[in-house]
Amino acid sequence: AEIVKRLNGICAQVLPYLSQEHQQQVLGAIERAKQVTAPELNSIIRQQLQAHQLSQLQALALPLTPLPVGLQPPSLPAVSAGTGLLSLSALGSQAHLSKEDKN
């Protein structure tokens, strides 16, 4: 609850500095995030962890053959908090919290 209060305060402080279009996008994302339930959040986190673990396994399996001198193996993008937030915003109107969940 404390993290939510702090993030909400940060959003409220930054919002006036954004363009009108970006303000609408942020307000929409905030409203969608309010509708995410705890089980859905756990599911998203589990999916992110599985994707990250899979990418790590793939990175370990990439150099099966020796690379020519001077070539580096390709790097894989890391899973970030931003990616998780995009996943949350993709849930959109699918999730609805009951009054008990909000408390």
Run of H or E including 54: helix 38-61
Q: Has residue 92 been placed in a domain? A: no
Q: Has residue 27 been placed in a domain? A: yes
pLDDT beyond 60 at 94: no
Q: Has residue 37 been placed in a domain? A: yes
Between 23 and 56, name the one with better pLDDT.
23
**Number of folded domains in the chain?**
1
What is the percent of the chain where pLDDT is above 90?
A: 42
Q: Going by C-beta distance under 8 Å and a sequence separation of 6 or more, which residues neighbour residue 63? A: 73
**pTM of structure:** 0.44
Task: Render pLDDT for 10-35 as a digit per residue (tens, 0 to 9).
Answer: 999 999 999 999 999 999 999 998 89
Tokens 């589990």, residue located: 46
pLDDT beyond 90 at 82: no
Range(s) of the domain holding residue 35: 1-61
